[in-house]
């Protein structure tokens, strides 16, 4: 049984005239007759009663027509779904993200997908950078939204955004009276650092700022969550250098001051396995996330 036979059958069943049906199908009447005979032969039933004056459906033909209409609708739906899947507009995408992305980036992506690609399910997980890399390699997530830089060979990076690194101080700290903080002013200050094992590249960027101004930070505490770090700063345990977006976490009793001079920025990027680069769902997600961030 072939699909063209089914299309010819439905047209003939609608018009009940071989000549008009053949014209509608842009084929000869004899070719249409051959297709109908082939279809009846494959089914081993008679679908049409024919005489010189009229054509009518048999009981078997009437039942078959109902099923064929349903089948053709399902085929059309399957075609549309396949086309949408090829465009990355169907399926499941598992996304890991660092906490900083939860404030603005992730909500915008989720809203956009709900409005424009309701056939895609986004399943999100809050993970620091290093666990995201591990989850990508184990194929537990499909996309990571993480801190750069990273240098894992199996992972491809799409830069997404960057923001300045700033100094966070206890509100009553003597340095809080300055409008800007030179990194060397922090030489003798106790530092609360982001854990290196959670984001090695990010940790090294903070360390680079200190080393370039002639000192190694006096680390008294490390933490894997920026909210925890800021809570420690508010408790006057020390100072910290973090991305400016950390100020949106709303921790009280913390002063935020820009760093004097020009320094590397904190970067966020999208990470996927290089082996998944041709996945249309992921290509669509990367393109969408970048476009939303550029608006």
Instruction: Say if residue 97 is in the same domain as residue 49.
Output: no
Q: Looking at residue 1, what is its pLDDT? A: 76
Task: Write down which residue in 86, 117, 141 finishes a domain.
Answer: 86
pLDDT tens-digit readout, 169-208 = 999 999 999 999 999 999 999 999 999 999 999 999 999 9
CA-to-CA separations, 171 to 113, 174, 259, 284, in angstroms, rounded: 40, 9, 16, 44
What's the whole-model pTM score?
A: 0.74
In the chain, alpha helices (H): 3-15, 18-24, 29-43, 59-86, 105-116, 129-137, 200-212, 226-234, 280-294
Instruction: Say if residue 36 is in the same domain as residue 55.
Output: yes
Paired tokens of 27: 């084929």
Residue numbers in the chain where pLDDT is lower than 50: none
Give the integer Cα–Cα distance in Å for 80 and 284.
Answer: 17
Instruction: Say if residue 118 is in the same domain as residue 75.
Output: no
> What CATH number does the domain containing 47 carry?
1.10.10.10
Q: How many domains does the chain have?
A: 3
Task: Write down which residue in 51, 86, 121 finishes a domain.
Answer: 86
Residues forming a β-bridge with 28: none
Q: Looking at residue 128, what is its pLDDT? A: 92
> What CATH number does the domain containing 283 carry?
3.40.190.10
Q: Looking at residue 249, what is its pLDDT? A: 84
Instruction: Say if residue 172 is in the same domain as residue 243.
Output: yes
Q: Looking at residue 43, what is its pLDDT? A: 93
Q: Which domain holds residue 132?
A: 91-161+267-294
- Under 8 Å between Cβ of 255 and 173: yes
- Under 8 Å between Cβ of 239 and 119: no
Instruction: Say if residue 132 is in the same domain as residue 218.
Output: no
């Amino acid at each position: 049984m072939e699909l063209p036979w089914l299309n010819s059958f439905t047209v003939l069943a609608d018009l009940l005239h071989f000549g008009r049906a053949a014209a509608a199908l842009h084929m000869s009447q004899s070719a249409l007759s051959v297709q109908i005979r082939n279809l009846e032969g494959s089914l081993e039933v008679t679908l049409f009663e024919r005489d010189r004056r009229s054509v009518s459906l048999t009981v078997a033909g009437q039942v078959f027509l109902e099923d064929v209409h349903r089948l053709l609708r399902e085929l059309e739906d399957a075609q549309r779904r396949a086309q949408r899947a090829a465009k990355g507009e169907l399926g499941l995408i598992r996304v890991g993200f660092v906490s900083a992305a939860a404030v603005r980036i992730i909500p915008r992506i989720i809203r956009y997908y709900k409005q424009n690609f309701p056939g895609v399910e986004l399943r999100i997980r809050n993970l620091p950078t290093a666990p995201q890399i591990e989850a990508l390699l184990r194929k537990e997530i499909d996309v990571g939204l993480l801190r750069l830089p990273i240098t894992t060979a199996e992972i491809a990076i799409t830069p997404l955004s960057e923001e300045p690194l700033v100094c966070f101080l206890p509100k009553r700290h003597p340095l809080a009276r300055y409008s800007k903080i030179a990194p060397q002013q922090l030489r003798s200050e106790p530092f609360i650092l982001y854990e290196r094992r959670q984001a090695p590249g990010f940790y090294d960027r903070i360390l680079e700022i200190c080393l370039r101004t002639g000192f190694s930070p006096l680390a008294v505490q490390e933490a894997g969550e920026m909210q925890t770090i800021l809570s420690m700063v508010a408790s006057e345990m020390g100072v910290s250098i973090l991305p400016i977006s950390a100020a949106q976490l709303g921790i009280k009793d913390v002063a935020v001051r820009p760093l004097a001079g020009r320094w590397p920025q904190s970067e966020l990027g999208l990470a996927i396995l290089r082996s998944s680069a041709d996945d249309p769902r992921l290509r669509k997600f990367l393109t969408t996330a970048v476009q939303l961030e550029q608006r």
